[in-house]
Structure 1
Amino acid sequence: VAFLLHSPFLALYSLVWIPIFVAISLAEERDLVLRYGKAYEEYRERTGFFLPKRE
């Protein structure tokens, strides 16, 4: 979107926040595995990380 809008600010913002968002999501995944164990691992296999899996 940043490139379509020719927005250097939005591009920089994305470059900063996307890795932070991924790191937070990975930490949350580890926490969910610790809390819910096998049930969450089975759920994770059926779903995608950020986008739904296609069947």
Structure 2
Amino acid sequence: MKIGIATQDLRPDAHRYIEIDTNNAEPFGIFRILKARGDIDVTYNIGYDYTSVMIYPNH
């Protein structure tokens, strides 16, 4: 078991809040945009934080 902090885009429910254009992703970075498994990564009923420092910039 591992405990850590993941970026907001890896949340199992991230697809409800953000859209990722994979055409703009670098090939080696595609693995970073795969969503987390809901049975392992939990959100603890905390909403998506658009102001989080754990969000990649929009560029």
TM-score by length of 1: 0.28
Question: Whose helix fraction is larger, Structure 1's or Structure 2's?
Answer: 1
Larger radius of gyration: 1
Higher relative contact order (CA 8 A, sep 6+): 2
